[in-house]
A and B are shown apart, each in its own frame.
Chain A
Amino acid sequence: MVNAFILAAEESPSPVLPHMAEVILGLVAFLLLLFVISKFVTPRFEKLYADRTAKIEGGIEKAEQAQQEAEAALKQYNAQLAEARAESARIRDDARAEAEQIKEELRAQAQEESARIVAQGQAQLEAQRAQIVAELRADLGRHAVELASRVVGESLEDEARRRGTVDRFLAELDSVSAPAKS
Chain B
Amino acid sequence: MGRLVLAEGDVFSPPGVKDFFLPPIFGDVTKPMVLLVLSVIIVSAFFLITSRNLKIVPGRWQFAAESVYDFGRNNIARDQIGSKEFKPFVPLILSLFTFILVNNLFGVIPIFQFPTMARISFPLALAILVVYPVYHFVGIKKFGLGGYLKNQLFPPGVPTPVYVLLTPIELFLKFFMDPITLAIRVFAAMFAGHLILLVFTLGGEFLLLHAAAPLKPVSLVAWAFAIAMTFLEAFIQILQAYIFALLTASFIGRALAEDH
Q: Establish whether residues A18 and B121, one from each chain, have CB atoms under 8 Å apart when the complex forms.
A: yes
Within the assembled complex, what's the spacing in Å between the Cα atoms of A36 and B18? 35
Q: Which of B28, B40, B90 contacts A29 (CB 8 A)?
A: B40
Q: Establish whether residues A34 and B91, one from each chain, have CB atoms under 8 Å apart when the complex forms.
A: yes
| B191 nearest CB neighbor, chain A only | A15
Interface size class of B (residues with CB under 8 A): 35 or more
Q: Which of B13, B33, B91, B99 contacts A41 (CB 8 A)?
A: B91
- Of the stretches B46-54, B104-112, B161-169, the one at the interface is B46-54
- Of the stretches A2-10, A94-102, A116-124, A160-168, the one at the interface is A2-10
B184 to chain A, nearest CB (A): 8
Q: Which of B40, B120, B122, B130 contacts A15 (CB 8 A)?
A: B120
Q: B231 near A: Cβ within 8 Å?
A: no
Within the assembled complex, what's the spacing in Å between the Cα atoms of A1 and B6? 11
B2 neighbours in A (Cβ, 8 Å): 1
Within the assembled complex, what's the spacing in Å between the Cα atoms of A4 and B14? 9
The contact string, 1 if C-beta is below 8 Å from chain B, for chain A 1-38, is 10011001101111111111111111101111110111
Q: B44 near A: Cβ within 8 Å?
A: yes
Q: Which of B13, B91, B121 contacts A22 (CB 8 A)?
A: B121
* Majority DSSP secondary structure for residues of A touching B: helix
Q: Establish whether residues B69 and A9, one from each chain, have CB atoms under 8 Å apart when the complex forms.
A: no
The contact string, 1 if C-beta is below 8 Å from chain A, for chain B 13-28, is 1101110110000001
A29 to chain B, nearest CB (A): 5
Q: Establish whether residues B120 and A16, one from each chain, have CB atoms under 8 Å apart when the complex forms.
A: yes
Within the assembled complex, what's the spacing in Å between the Cα atoms of A13 and B126? 22
CB within 8 Å for A37 and B95 given contacts A21-B28, A29-B40, A55-B56: yes
Interface residues of B (CB under 8 A from A): 2, 11-14, 16-18, 20-21, 28, 32-33, 36-37, 39-40, 43-44, 47-48, 51, 54, 56, 66, 69, 73, 87, 90-92, 94-96, 98-99, 119-122, 124-126, 129-130, 184, 187, 191
